[in-house]
Structure 1
Amino acid sequence: MFITRHNNPYELKGELPTVGEKAPHFSLECIHGEIKTPESFAGRVSLISVVPDINTRVCDIQTKAFHKKIKEHPSIQLVTISKNNKEEFKNWCSANDVAMEMLCDVDFTFGEAYGIYVPELSVDQRSIFVLDQNGTIVYQEIVQEMTDEPNYDEAIRVALTHL
């Protein structure tokens, strides 16, 4: 699959999972040092928001937007994943006065497992995955143009239908 960044094409590495199948395994460190896997979120509907780099404009906008919208629906678990390390995530959370689940994909194992790693740019492509309480993917959006925002309302709508 190809995506674009400023209209330049880039190929994604890995195999994109299919809606209706179990979420591929991942094992990522959160900002508190704990290792999180899909099983860490079992029993809750999870909205996984993937951003290329938390310290860029659109990623900042996306993360703030989902944080604000999900606060209205506390039964949905919001998870943000990016290439950023714990320190970068902690600094971002502190600067924005938010506490949220942020996972570090510094070696791009999540990106490859979910088919969204962009090797030429060393980032994961902007994307959204919604998992039901059993860890099945019920929604995914791979944003075609990296600098565009995702469809926030549709992702949340689908998450709400699976509560």
Structure 2
Amino acid sequence: MANITVGGNVANLVGNEVNVGDLAPVVELAAKDLSSIKVGGVSDKIQILAVVPSLDTEVCATETRKFNQSVAGKDNVKLTVISMDLPFAMGRFCSTEGIENIQVGSDFRNKDFANAYGVLIKDGALAGLSARAIFIVNKDGKIIHKEIVSEVTNEPNYETIQKIIKENGGCSTGGCSL
């Protein structure tokens, strides 16, 4: 199983490691209104699953704002930001920041997503939260890109994400910049 660093200190990840080529597990999350949303599996759109430790940190907030701006007008892409934040906090963040183009999902109930995708931080200062990661799932439900950000305080590689989305038909409208 992989490990990451949190402020330079090693933290181990636990859960079921998934890789490019694997079918993306279908997982239920809590939406900001406490309704249930599902991610992973077969979909009519390319799914970007952007996993962050907490929207209440500057790096996570910045990443979410960038994704919100970049997916506007992209009909073939559905982006979900996933964290352990309570749905109420996620809703407040989206309202305050004007986040309207993406979906947020909370994994707080059972940590099902973090365990199914192998991104649950086992130890260290952020134990119990999710590592920063990106999973891109094609319409057939296969993982076509995986990035576990090695240092949790860093942002993901937006250029690579943009390239994968473009190569898989996710930029039909609104350009393709992240």
Q: Confirm or deny a common fold (TM above 0.5).
A: yes
Inter-partner Cα distance in structure 1 for 2:148 and 2:72: 23
Q: Deviation string for 1:39-63 (max 9, x for gaps)?
A: 6871110111110000101000111
Q: 1:127 aligns with which of 111, 133, 146?
A: 133
| Greater mean deviation of Cα atoms: 46-55 or 29-38 | 29-38
Inter-partner Cα distance in structure 2 for 1:41 and 1:77: 12
Instruction: Determine the structure 2 residue equivalent to 1:91.
Output: 92
Inter-partner Cα distance in structure 2 for 1:72 and 1:62: 18
- How many pairs align? 163
Instruction: Determine the structure 2 residue equivalent to 1:102.
Output: 104
The CA deviation at 1:123 is 0.6
Instruction: Determine the structure 1 residue equivalent to 2:162.
Output: 156
Contact 2:41/2:142 (<8 A) preserved? no
Q: Does 1:112 align with 2:115?
A: yes
Give the structure with the higher percent helix: 1
TM-score in terms of structure 1 length: 0.93
| Greater mean deviation of Cα atoms: 103-112 or 29-38 | 29-38
| Long gaps (5+) in structure 1 | none
Once the two structures are aligned, what percentage of the paired residues are identical?
26
Equivalent AA in structure 1 for residue 60 of structure 2: C
Q: How does 1:16-31 map to 2 (within 5 A)?
A: 16-31=17-32
Instruction: Determine the structure 1 residue equivalent to 2:75.
Output: 74
Q: How large is the Cα RMSD of the aligned pairs?
A: 1.5
Q: 2:152 aligns with which of 133, 146, 154?
A: 146
Contact 1:41/1:77 (<8 A) preserved? no
Q: Deviation string for 1:60-118 (max 9, x for gaps)?
A: 01111111111253321111100011100011011101223100010321111100100
Inter-partner Cα distance in structure 1 for 2:74 and 2:84: 27
Inter-partner Cα distance in structure 1 for 2:13 and 2:65: 26
Inter-partner Cα distance in structure 2 for 1:82 and 1:95: 17
CA 4–103 in structure 1, closer or farther in 2 if over 3 Å, else same = same
The CA deviation at 1:6 is 0.8
| Long gaps (5+) in structure 2 | 170-178
TM-score in terms of structure 2 length: 0.86
